[in-house]
Copies of this chain bind each other. A is one copy, B any other.
Amino acid sequence: MGNVSERRKQPPQVGVSVVILALGPVPQSDVGAGAASSGMGSTLWMPLVKRVRQPFLGQWALPGGGLRADHSLEQSAYAALESTTSLHPKYLEQLYTFGDPARSHGGLPMVSIVYWALVGEADGRIDFAGGDNVKWFPVNHLPELAFDHRTIVEYAMNRLRGKIESPDIATRLVGERFTLSQLHDVYEAIAGQRIDLANFRRKMLASGLLEDTGEKLRIGRNRPAAVYRYSRKPGTDLWTEAGTASESDDTRIAFQDDDALSALMTA
């Protein structure tokens, strides 16, 4: 295996990891009260896997795996995703690549290309209890993580908060049909701040991205709320469905930061 000074000039290992986020109930509290299944006071959850080898044996880590030369990055991310949940991601995007030699902490030098994924709430189909080696945690009650995965998660959360202004990102989390209050809950959950409901509602509706399905949904015993759907304008649709990870992941990069400078523009 060569000695140390040889190894230094070698390329490092390459892996792909995924930060997976899903909407779930608030941790240890009011689930009791009658309500059907979804709604009120959501929190973000993410699955972690228990390490089965050194270093950090037994600790929790992000799902991931080595990169094979004949797989695209996105394919690898997708594979990692499937190792923890059978749900199809509503969103999958490259987050950042971490490659500092120091981060391996006793393991081999490793470059990790990290993706983040959103999977919808999917009507409680997520098993938040989880098995032995995979377990879901609320993002604000994570256990100690292996390597620098804590940093990575924090980065992902920040990015999520930053991205929320794009209206569809939240709708991907909340599910196919939703009331404005539910959507509002998600926004507050992600932002960690209060958002004026009246203004939120208006802004959302004004964006023209929501479509009123005729339906009504009664959450508790109160007035039924209108149920909306995210109306995917044909063509505006960069992403459609993350599941179809068939095309090259290089050619349809989301130019997410676009039109940010519209602020400075003048006709």
Contacts and interface: CB of A to CB of B under 8 A. Distances in A.
A113 B73 CA distance: 12
A241 interface: no
Number of copies: 2
B111 A14 contact: yes
B164 A98 contact: no
B196 A255 contact: no
Among A96, A109, A260, the one with the most B-chain Cβ atoms within 10 Å of its Cβ is A260
Given A94-B97, A100-B250, A195-B266, A261 B164 contact: yes
Interface string A43-73: 0000000000000000000000011111111
Contact of A14 (B14, B165, B257): B14
A148 interface: yes
Interface stretch (A119-127, A154-162, A210-218, A230-238): A154-162
B71 A155 contact: no
Interface in A1-22: 7-14
A72 B94 contact: no
A200 to B, nearest CB: 7
A109 to B, nearest CB: 4
A191 interface: yes
24 contacts: A8-B68, A8-B69, A8-B70, A9-B70, A11-B13, A14-B14, A67-B99, A72-B99, A73-B97, A73-B100, A73-B111, A100-B248, A103-B250, A159-B255, A161-B257, A161-B258, A161-B261, A162-B260, A162-B261, A165-B263, A165-B264, A187-B261, A191-B261, A194-B267
Given A71-B101, A165-B264, 12 more contacts: A7-B69, A11-B11, A11-B67, A73-B99, A94-B97, A102-B248, A155-B255, A162-B256, A163-B257, A164-B260, A165-B263, A200-B266
Interface of A: 7-14, 66-73, 94, 96-103, 109, 111, 113, 148, 151, 155, 158-159, 161-165, 187, 190-191, 193-196, 199-200, 203, 248-251, 253, 255-261, 263-267
The 6 tightest CB contacts between A and B, nearest first, are A162-B257, A196-B266, A69-B109, A73-B99, A8-B70, A12-B69
